[in-house]
Every structure is written in C-alpha cells, then in structure tokens.
Amino acid sequence: MAKQEVFGKKPLQILEKIRENLERLNEKIEVMIELQKHTKKDVQMLPEAPLDVMTLLSMPDHLRKTAMTVCRLGRATAEEIAQQTHRARAVESAYLNQLVIMGYLKKERKGRKAYFYVDRESQG
C-alpha cells in the first residue's frame, strides 16, 4: 500500500507541474496576443512608473479600467478583477500582465495563483 502511494504520487506531481507550466505559458501567449492587438504605442516600458491619477487618465480605456480596479481592490487575481470589470478572465490576465510589463503593477505568485498589486511603498 505504502509502495503504491509513493509510486502513485510522482505522476500526479508531474501532471500538476505540467498544468502549472501550461497555465504560465497560456498567460504569456495571452499577453503576446494583446500586445499585437493594441500595437506597441499603448505598451511602452516605463521602469518604476508611478501609477498616479494623471497616468490613469493618459492610459487607453481598456487598461485604465483594469488599473483602476487593482487600485480599488489593492491586491487581486485576474479572476477577481474580471468579476469586477465583467470581462473575461483571460482578457484581464493579458491587461494585468501588460501593466506589469509597463512598470505600473507588480506580480507575485502564491502557489498556483498570481496576485497583482500597486507597489506604493518601494517606489521612491
């Protein structure tokens, strides 16, 4: 019985790992698709850019909605943001990752979940 558990666990762990990697790959593909959709002018790298209200005002509408929701919630997953904006989780995931690339948001992984937040303390 003990032997079966040892042998039985390994494939499960491997499958779990494959699933995690596929999810990350999926997120990256979503970002690439969104980057292509909105062309490069919307997505410029600004290292340590402060997400202040003037920045929010100058953002394209689709990103402003996501950024404002993160501001309001403080820290949230793509799923939680999607519930607020009534857009698809995959779409929010792409926008959130764009905002991370642009330097406005930070992303932190906890297990299988990715949390997005505004890092107000470390900037400046």
CB closer to other proteins, 28 vs 75: 75
- Report whether 118 contacts 71 (CB < 8 A): yes
Site for other proteins (CB under 8 A): which residue of 4, 57, 86, 110? 57
Q: Does 72 bind other proteins (CB under 8 A)?
A: yes
Q: What does 43-106 look like in DSSP terms, one character per residue?
A: ----TT----HHHHHHS-HHHHHHHHHHHHHSEE-HHHHHHHHTS-HHHHHHHHHHHHHTTS-E
Part of the chain binding other proteins (CB under 8 A), chosen from 27-35, 71-79, 88-96, 108-116:
71-79
- Count CB-CB contacts under 10 A for residue 74: 10
How far is 49 from 58, CA to CA, in rounded Å? Answer: 13
Q: Does 75 bind other proteins (CB under 8 A)?
A: no
Q: In the range 14-53, which residues lie near other proteins by CB under 8 A?
A: 50-53
CB closer to other proteins, 75 vs 112: 75
Site for other proteins (CB under 8 A): which residue of 35, 56, 90, 100? 56
Binding positions for other proteins, rule: CB under 8 A: 50-57, 61, 64-65, 68, 71-72, 74, 118, 120-121, 123-124
